[in-house]
Structure 1
Amino acid sequence: MARVHVRRHRLDRRQPPGVLVTAPLIAIVADRKTATSGAWVDIPTDGLPHTYVAAIEQAGGMPLVIPSLDAFLDDPDRVLDLVDGLFLPGGRDLDAALYGSAAHPANDPPFSLRDELEIALTRAARRRAIPVFGACRGLQVINVALGGTLEQHLGDRVDLTPHRDIVGTFTAHEVRLQPGTLLASLVHADAFDIASHHHQGVGALGDGLVASASAPDGVVEALEAGDGAFCLGVQWHPEERLDPEGLALVRAFVEAAREHAGARAGMAA
């Protein structure tokens, strides 16, 4: 992918004259895994796949990667004071205890600090009307943060193959959108194919959330806030299939973050 140069400043014509709006800062919480580089073997590393960062940059945002630390969990509003949007990427399964369940044998070992930090940031972002966008695990974080639950292993109920076939390889299947939803308005389509890699799904919907897309087998594939705010989660990986729907979603999120930044700048001016 060619390098994309993001203009650091621009005047947003929708904001009051004289208000300078920067390319919006987007917070992303890093996972912690072991990594090997040369002679350095199994070193604990805070990071995430570059595809998320690249997608936000291509959409006009400035990603800010936040490590999973107790200090941020103790004061999530300090993180949100610095940013204009919160992006929740994919990753390992959430700790089932967070939604009152015992872990399924198929679940990944959890990283509870990341789970708790993303949930705290999501709740605080919703209180502050900061745009939130979640991909795959990110959808699940939104749902759990707002009081919902997860179905821990779809393979116990439906054919898992369309959702996750070979671990480490994305599958493709169609999603069907609910008319009149934010999601449908962003991609201007009734259905399209997505990049999928998950074995869990939405159980009970969180407070104020509505389902906005589903797979042919009925599995919920997207949810969003019912109050019209930009709080959207998709159960797929838009960063892995950007053209055209994936990029449309990331761009819409970045533009919502830009508008939030402009509104905040206008109030401070």
Structure 2
Amino acid sequence: MTVPLIGIVADRKSASYGAWVDIPTDAISHTYTAAIQEAGGAPLLFPSLDVHLDDPERLVDLIDGLFLPGGRDLDAELYGSEAHPSNDPPLRVRDELEIALTLLARERGLPVLGACRGMQLINVALGGTLEQHLGDRVDLTPHRDVYGTHTSHPVTIAQGTLLAEITHEREFDISSHHHQGVDRLGEGLVVAATAPDGVIEAIESVDGAFCLGVQWHPEERLDPEGIALIQAFIAAARTRARAKFAVRS
């Protein structure tokens, strides 16, 4: 069985270990990489560095699929807005690298899956905008109650979408932790799921390619719908890997 390589861009976090305190670290939550492995993929981490931004094509050459994880808020300047006071300090090099990889993956037909921030990144990469603080308009509690703790609420899946085909469900509960959301949709995207309050919970491409973003964290809730979503992504990446191998042969 072909084990596809899945590219993930790491964030820069402060970590403490032993005598070392608050050391800048290129890292990503283990729940993401563990879920990709469980679904049959092999994660490959890329640090958020200018050297990769200078030549993102090399990274895309290595991978069979691109996974865009959660994390800090995108730089609002990327979609023509001023930052909301509640926003995280941005890491612009990560934003720009993920956008470059997303666009290249789309050009080359590589599967793309985004979770939480990753869904927002897909939307911005394709020309869309974000609502920077949902709490200004709706009750934020279902989406993010206690900072650092996931909440749960149901989502309704739009029929006829790739997401509906993957999950085989009309509605199910998800694991949520976000305060931003999709505002204007990016080019070639449609809404694939919504929350009870109307907040967009999933988007996908209309061209038949595997380009799908969910506002929730499937890696945190590997129930049938969560693991099915990641497995479908890995299956698409495996198909891509086999096609690439066949061409080389």
What corresponds to 2:50 in structure 1? Answer: 70
* 1:166 alignment partner in structure 2: 146
1:105 aligns with 2:85: yes
Q: After the TM superposition, which parts of structure 1 deviate over 3 Å for at least 4 consecutive aligned residues?
A: none
Q: Give the counterpart of 2:22 among 42, 46, 50.
A: 42
Aligned to 2:189: 209
Within a 5 Å distance, the mapping from 1:1-269 to structure 2 comes to 10=1, 22-269=2-249
Q: 1:33 & 1:103 partners in 2: Cα distance?
A: 21
Task: Give the aligned partner of residue 3 of structure 1.
Answer: none
**Deviation readout 1:97-118 (Å, 9 max, x if unpaired):** 0000000001001011101100
CA–CA distance in structure 2, aligned partners of residues 77 and 188 of structure 1: 35
Displacement of 1:264 in angstroms is 1.3
Superposed displacement of residue 71, structure 1:
1.2
Q: Which amino acid aligns with 1:114?
A: R
Structure 2 length as normaliser, TM-score? Answer: 0.99
- In structure 2, the residue corresponding to 1:94 is in which secondary structure? coil
Distance between the aligned counterparts of 2:230 and 2:74, measured in 1? 23
Q: Hey, what's the Cα distance between the residues in 1 that align with 2:54 and 2:104?
A: 12
TM-fit CA distance, 1:42: 1.1
Displacement after TM superposition at 1:47 (Å): 0.4
Distance of 1:178 and 1:224 partners within structure 2: 11
Amino acid corresponding to residue 37 of structure 1 in structure 2? Y
Residue 161 of structure 1 aligns to a residue whose secondary structure is coil
Deviation at 1:267, TM superposition (A): 1.9
| 1:80-104 deviation per Cα after TM superposition (whole angstroms, max 9, x unaligned) | 1001000000000000000000000
The amino acid across from 1:74 in the alignment is: D
User: d(CA) in 1 for partners of 2:246 and 2:80?
Assistant: 42
- Residue 130 of structure 1 deviates from its aligned partner by 0.4
CA deviation after TM superposition for structure 1 residue 74, in Å = 1.0
The aligned amino acid for 2:63 is V
Q: What letter corresponds to residue 87 of structure 1 in structure 2?
A: F
Offset of residue 34 of structure 1: 1.0
Shift in Å at residue 46 of structure 1? 0.3
Cα distance in 2 for residues equivalent to 1:61 and 1:73: 24
SS in 2 for 1:108: coil
Task: Give 1:268 shift.
Answer: 1.9
* 1:40 Cα deviation after fit: 0.4
Separation (CA, whole Å) in 1 of partners of 2:192 and 2:20:
45
Could you list the per-position Cα deviations for residues 61-83 of structure 1 after superposition, in whole angstroms to 9, with x for gaps in the alignment?
Answer: 00001101111111111001001
Shift of 1:149: 0.3
Give % identity. Answer: 70
Task: State the secondary structure of the residue aligned to 1:166.
Answer: coil
TM-score by length of 1: 0.92
CA distance in 2 between partners of 1:41 and 1:268 (Å): 47
Quote the Cα distance in structure 1 between the aligned partners of 2:227 and 2:237: 15
Show structure 1 runs of 5+ residues with no match. 1-9, 11-21
